[in-house]
Structure 1
Amino acid sequence: MVSLAAASKAGYDFNAKYNCPASLKIGNRVFTNYESKGAGLISMRTAIALSCDTVWYQIAYDQWVKDGGLSPKGNLNDFFFKAAKGFGFGKQTGVDLPSESSGRLANREWKQSWYEANKNFFCNYKTKAIPAQQTPLLIAIAKENCVDGAKIRAGDAVNFAIGQGDTTATPMQMIQMYAAIANGGTIMKPTIGRAILDNKGKIIKEILPQRVGKLPLDKPTLAFMQDALQAVVTEGTARYPFTGFPVAVSAKTGTGEVFGKNLDGSEKDTTSWLVSYAPSEKPKYAVLMMVSQGGTGSLTSGPSVRKIYEAIFGVTGSKADPLRSLFPSGPPSVIPRLTTDGRILPPMKLKSSAKNGG
C-alpha cells in the first residue's frame, strides 16, 4: 500500500494498464515475481490483487532514475521513502507494551548512517570477516560497499517497493497501518489496556483512544486502496482461504524472502503474513498473522486468519450467527466490573430471542 501511495504522488494513472512480466532486469540483476509468474497487461487494481511485484519494480526504478539514480538531484521527490514514513515505518506505534521495536525505514538517511557504522568492516573485509563469509560474491559486495555503500542503488529502490531489502516492520506497525486504511485514514495509537483500576474497581486512569496522525493519502487514492484490498480476497491472492466466507474481508498477503541458512544447513523459508480488516464496508476489526519461515501468506496465514474471523463473527461453514459471535452486542464499550477479590467479571451475554430454547 505504500507503493500505491507513492505511485499516486508520482502521478500514475490508476485506470491505466501496466505490464506484469514474470521478471524484470535491472542492471545486471534479474528481479522476479514470486514463483516467477507473469500476468501481461493488467490494471493497477489487479496488480495489487495478484501481488505483481514487477509492476512496482518498474515504477520504483523509473522514479529512482528521475531522482538522479546514483547521482541524486538536489531536490529529490523520494516518493517511496516519503510515503513509507507517512505510513509510520521506522517509528514506534506507542503501544502500551515494553520494549517495542521501531522497525527500520531504510531511506537515504538510514543508508548514510549504516555506511558510516560499517565502512571500516567492508574496507577491511578480508581480515575482519569470518572464513564462511569469504565467498567471491560477499567479497565483491564488500568492495562495492567500501567505495559507495552510502548510495541508494537501483536494487535498493526496487526492493524497497515490495517491502524487501533493509526495511523492516513489526506486526503492530502493520496492523496500525491497515486499521488506518479501514477507518478512513486516521492513524490511532494501539492500546492493550482499557483502564487502570484499584482492587475495588475504582478507576485510577482511563485509557482513551488517541489519534496520532493521518495517512498521506487523498480521498480518491484511499478509496481505490480500499477497493483493491477487497479485490485481494474476492479475486486475488487471498481468495483461497476466504472462499465462501459470509463476511466481506479486505486483506493483503505477503511472502517475505529471507536470506541465510538454518542451523541444519537448510535454506531459510519465507516469512508468511496476512493483514486484514472486516467487514469491508463498515470495518470493526483488524487481524494480522505473521509466521516466521511459514511459507506463503495465503496458504499459511490465510486459513488461521479466517479461523479468527470465524470466532469473531460466529461463523460456521458459510453462515454467520450474531448470537455465536465473540461480541454479540458489539465490542465492549464500558470498563468491566470486578469482584471484591479483584477478578474481572465476564461480559454479559445476549439471550437468544428464539422460543422454546431454539
Structure 2
Amino acid sequence: MAGDEGRQLPPRGQGYPELADRARAAYLRELARENCRGGGTWRGGDAANLAIGQGGVLVTPLQLARAYAAIANGGTLHSPRVGLRVVRPDGTAVREITPPVAGRLPASAQTLRFMVSWLGVQTFMNVGMTLGLTPIVGVPLPFVSYGGSATVAGLVAVGLLQAVHRSKAVQA
C-alpha cells in the first residue's frame, strides 16, 4: 500500500496474543495498522473523533467529566444527574437531587491533591495565555493540546486511575 514503504505492519493474524478477548485484540491490531499507515498524521476529523471518545481515545466526554469531578471532590465518584433540584414556578425548591455515590477512586488523598494541583496549574497557565499574561508557546492545554503530548499525558493519568479502580473492583 502507498505510504507503507519501510514500515513493519503486524500480520493480520498476529498481535496482542495476551488478550483473551479476540474482538478487542482485532480492534487494537487494526488501530495499530491504521496509525502505522498514517505515520501519526493528524487528519481532518481527528479532533471531532477524539472529542467524542472515538478513534484512538476510548473515553467519552461524560466519562472524562466524571473522572475530573471525582479528582476534584476528593475521590468520590458520583452517578451523573442532569439537575440539582426540582423547583416550583416561583423558584422555591421542592426537593434536592442528590447523585448516588458510584464508588471511590483508589488513590490516596496526597495523590488526589497532586492531581488537583497539576490540573490547577495547567488551567491557570491556559487562562493566563488567553488573557495575554503568560507566554503562549510551550504550555499545553490538558486533553486538548495540538500535537498530542499533553493529551497523552492527561489520558494516561486518568487511564491509570481507571485501571486501578477496575482492578480493585474485580478483586472485591
User: TM-score under structure 1 normalisation?
Assistant: 0.24
Which has the higher Rg, Structure 1 or Structure 2?
1
User: Per chain length, whose mean CA-contact separation is higher, i.e. which structure has more relative contact order (CA < 8 Å, sep 6+)?
Assistant: 1
User: TM-score under structure 2 normalisation?
Assistant: 0.44
Please identify which structure carries the higher helix content.
Answer: 2
